[in-house]
Structure 1
Amino acid sequence: MDAIVNLYRRDRDERPAPQDAAGRPSREDAEAAVRTLIRWAGDDPEREGLLDTPKRVVKAYEELFSGYRASEAEVLAKVFEEVEGYGDIVLVRDIPFHSHCEHHMVPFVGKAHIAYYPSRGVVGLSKLARVVDVFAKRLQTQETMTAQIANAIDDFLKPRGVAILVEAEHMCMSMRGVQKGGVSTLTTQFTGVFREDPTEQVRFMTLVRGLR
């Protein structure tokens, strides 16, 4: 009898479920996929400790990949123009983030440092942290994420220049493959005055590193 019940459950789990209007698989599809991966890994998704794991994983994925449902345009929409003519550098450093490598779907974790020279105004400081999350909470490469953050700020704030430094440790390098933990990867992106004037890049790096 147990064998028949388990066969029914497996058949139910593997039947295709309806997709939403955007073609996104249903929650039932996602949970069935987790059960399949558990079986592939060599465990039994029907044992007590794993019964609710598919639901937990799908719920976690909703949070970990919430960047697909976020908009950088909405995050950067509000600009404050009454800043008494301030036009010098604005720097927010040590913004923590976690993302997932698009090649292996394992985390990479680090910090982003963002600077810009305002032209028509400034954005709330928390918005720079939020725009990092918009792109970090997607399947990513660090290089692409760095460029996306810089381009979004450049497009929506129209500053005189943007500088981004991202540093991260990739679990796909420390947990698998060469298994070298503690290795940092640094990526940068410069636009406007930061790209045109190397002394501005030096100033940015000095502010990021020199005041610690």
Structure 2
Amino acid sequence: MKIDATNQLMDEDEIDGYQKIDRYNSGKIQRIASHYSDILSEMGEDPSREGLLKTPERVAKALQFLTHGYDMKPDEILRSAMFKEDYSQMVVVKDIEVYSMCEHHMLPFFGKAHIAYIPNGHIVGLSKIPRVVDAFSRRLQVQERLTNEIRDCIHNTLDPAGVAVVIECRHLCMSMRGAQKQNSVTTTSAFTGEFVNEKTRAEFLRLITANLS
């Protein structure tokens, strides 16, 4: 680990052409932590007791990690591994883990994303698609916007013949509070280009629901 000029802790290595995001800004950590000490007191807790002494700092670091997508540039992630290739069939990456934070209650929602694109002269390294999901999901989000942002980033950067995104998530703001429905799953979808065609979209949906193992 090293400390840079902005007082951020970061790993020495770079991953796939851009900096790894395990880093903490000490100034922000201190400011966020000070607020959480007050919050603990307002909840009726004693922030000076042993079990809570480091909780504000831990929460501050957790929040920085859970929202590190603000420091990432999804289009640059894709451009770092774009290759010219004469391939024009569907490319599907399914069951991508999604972890995000609902912007309404700041509670987690999590699940899976299934993404496909049809190349139009360029393909992209397969690991970049999950990284784009992380770049947008590691922010305060709503699932509907998250779905559209992933679709638009891939569409605008790769200029493919079509993009398809389906996300399925469980929301703790529905299961822990509010409606308190533990088994509900929210599904959102977004399509461009060839995937607007019913036949192409049906092929994509068949592939993401098929067990090919």
Question: In structure 2, which of residues 15, 25, 28 is the aligned counterpart of residue 26 of structure 1?
Answer: 28
Seq. identity, %: 44
- What is the alpha-carbon distance in structure 1 between the residues aligned to residue 96 and residue 28 of structure 2? 33
- 1:130 pairs with 2:131: yes
The 5-angstrom pairing of residues 189-208 of structure 1 reads: 189-195=190-196, 197-208=197-208
- 1:180 pairs with 2:173: no
Amino acid at match of 1:76: L
Amino acid at match of 2:73: S
Q: Deviations over 1:2-34 (max 9, x none)?
A: xxxxxxxxxxxxxxxxxxxxxxx8332211111
- What is the alpha-carbon distance in structure 2 between the residues aligned to residue 70 and residue 156 of structure 1? 15
TM-score normalized by the length of structure 2? 0.84
Name structure 2 gaps, 5 residues minimum: 1-26
Q: Deviations over 1:130-149 (max 9, x none)?
A: 00000100000000000000
1:52 aligns to what?
A: 54
TM-score normalized by the length of structure 1? 0.85
Amino acid at match of 1:125: L
SS in 1 for 2:95: strand
RMSD over equivalenced CA pairs, Å: 1.1
The 5-angstrom pairing of residues 79-90 of structure 1 reads: 79-81=82-84, 83=85, 85-90=86-91
Q: Give the paired residue count.
A: 185
Contact (CA 8 Å) 2:87, 2:121: kept in 1 or not?
no
- What is the alpha-carbon distance in structure 2 between the residues aligned to residue 164 and residue 26 of structure 1? 34
SS in 1 for 2:120: coil
- What is the alpha-carbon distance in structure 1 between the residues aligned to residue 179 and residue 129 of structure 2? 34
1:120 aligns to what?
A: 121
Q: Which has the higher helix share?
A: 1
Q: Which runs of 4+ in 1 moved over 6 A?
A: none
2:41 aligns to what?
A: 39
- Which structure has the larger Rg? 1
- What is the alpha-carbon distance in structure 2 between the residues aligned to residue 73 and residue 80 of structure 1? 14
SS in 1 for 2:180: coil
- What is the alpha-carbon distance in structure 2 between the residues aligned to residue 180 and residue 120 of structure 1? 45
Q: Deviations over 1:129-182 (max 9, x none)?
A: 000000100000000000000000001000000000000000000000111102
- What is the alpha-carbon distance in structure 2 between the residues aligned to residue 39 and residue 74 of structure 1? 43
1:116 CA displacement: 0.3
- What is the alpha-carbon distance in structure 1 between the residues aligned to residue 131 and residue 28 of structure 2? 27
- What is the alpha-carbon distance in structure 2 between the residues aligned to residue 34 and residue 90 of structure 1? 45
- What is the alpha-carbon distance in structure 2 between the residues aligned to residue 145 and residue 57 of structure 1? 24
2:209 aligns to what?
A: 209
SS in 1 for 2:56: helix
Contact (CA 8 Å) 2:91, 2:116: kept in 1 or not?
yes
SS in 2 for 1:92: strand
Amino acid at match of 1:189: A
Contact (CA 8 Å) 2:29, 2:61: kept in 1 or not?
no
